[in-house]
Structure 1
Amino acid sequence: MNGRVFVLSLLGFTTVFGAGLWYAQLYAKYEVTDGMPTVLAGGVERPVENYLGIDSVTSPLKRRGCFTVDPAEFADLPTAERPTPLSAPGWFECYDYEALTNDIEAGRAIAYLAALEERNAADRMIAVYPDGRAYEWRQLNAKYLD
């Protein structure tokens, strides 16, 4: 009888711990930001509309954002060397990193370097489509990717 109680207790603890860990990784560490009127790119505040983003203090690589812009506002920025959009939690639906990656590689979107080493060796990138859709993320600086 004691072995059965121990096994059930262990399974219960493992289930609760696993659920807590899953929640912490996918939900608890993120802060949602919406309605920002501008984004900083190339040291200049640039107007945006419909901003929806996520970020976290636990990692510089957790920032993602979706918004609309006038593509001409970003024409003076340098293009990104090796833009690599990172995945976002599944509940952040406006950001599809696979489609974004494919569109950048195919030339349907242009990725710009918005900020060099913005936070802990992470550069901030902004990809802009000709129709004004835009996305931002942070990735490791190119010198760390080699």
Structure 2
Amino acid sequence: MGKILAGVILVTALVAGAAMYYLQVYYFYEEVAATGTDDVQLTSLVSGKAEPVLYDGFTAIDADSSPIRYRACFTTTMSNAMLSETYEIYETAEPLTAPGWFECYDAQAIGLALEEGRALAYLGQRDVSYGVDRVVAITDDGRGFVWHQINRCGAVVFDGQRAPDDCPEPPKGY
């Protein structure tokens, strides 16, 4: 009887593990339909508002299960020299990983390019949802990557603390 019970527990654990893996890596993600005009935006130094920039080859994924699951890839002919004069740099960029099947996006390679100065990170849009910024990194060869990252205000509030005075008031339920 003990061997049967152990076998049932083992099979149940394997099925549950496989289901959790599938749900985390595949199930919740959906492709984002490109509009072709405003999929890639950067925040202007002058107006403080997000503005569309030139891009091509846009592909993205997102999931409703978390505000930080958005990932995108694109190319642009705009140089970092011009972009850095016009748009807000994002100093604390930390690329988040993407599922392995989303092949155009490699968080480690993006992070290394940022560290080595072969890429610059820009603020795409502040607070796409409360406490989460859209970050856009562009390499010197025109490859671009987008992800959502928890900002300073979100990190404090999501940790269960009161929002700092210079942060927007969090929505009810935070």
Fold shared, TM-score > 0.5 on shorter chain: yes
| Equivalent residue for 1:127, pick from 126, 131, 137 | 137
Shift of the 70–142 alpha-carbon distance from structure 1 to 2, 3 Å rule, reads farther
Q: Which residue of 2 aligns with 1:103?
A: 113
Asked if structure 1 preserves the Cα contact closer than 8 Å seen for 2:132 and 2:154, the reply is: no
Uncovered stretches (5+) of structure 2, i.e. residues with no partner: 44-49, 157-174
| Distance across 2 between alignment mates of 1:34 and 1:133 | 19
CA deviation vs aligned residue, 1:66-98 (integer Å, no higher than 9, x gap): 101132574421000211111111111111111
Percent of pairs identical after alignment?
Answer: 33
Q: Which residue of 2 aligns with 1:49?
A: 56
TM-score normalised by length of structure 1 = 0.88
Q: How many residues align?
A: 145
TM-score normalised by length of structure 2 = 0.75
Question: 1:145, CA displacement in angstroms?
Answer: 5.2
| Distance across 1 between alignment mates of 2:65 and 2:26 | 12
Deviates more, 1:97-106 or 1:27-36: 27-36
Deviates more, 1:53-62 or 1:34-43: 34-43
SS at match of 1:71: coil
| Distance across 2 between alignment mates of 1:93 and 1:34 | 17
Across the aligned residues of Structure 1 and Structure 2, the Cα RMSD in angstroms comes to: 1.9
Equivalences for residues 1-146 of structure 1 within 5 A: 2-33=1-32, 35-37=34-36, 38=38, 39-42=40-43, 43-72=50-79, 74-75=83-84, 76-144=86-154
Q: Which amino acid letter does the alignment assign opposite residue 51 of structure 1?
A: F
Asked if structure 1 preserves the Cα contact closer than 8 Å seen for 2:42 and 2:88, the reply is: no
CA deviation vs aligned residue, 1:98-136 (integer Å, no higher than 9, x gap): 111111122111100011111131111101123221100
| Distance across 2 between alignment mates of 1:74 and 1:32 | 27
CA deviation vs aligned residue, 1:29-72 (integer Å, no higher than 9, x gap): 11122544132332223332111111111111111111011325
| Distance across 1 between alignment mates of 2:124 and 2:31 | 20
Uncovered stretches (5+) of structure 1, i.e. residues with no partner: none
CA deviation vs aligned residue, 1:4-35 (integer Å, no higher than 9, x gap): 22222221111111110110011111112254
- Larger fraction in strand: 1
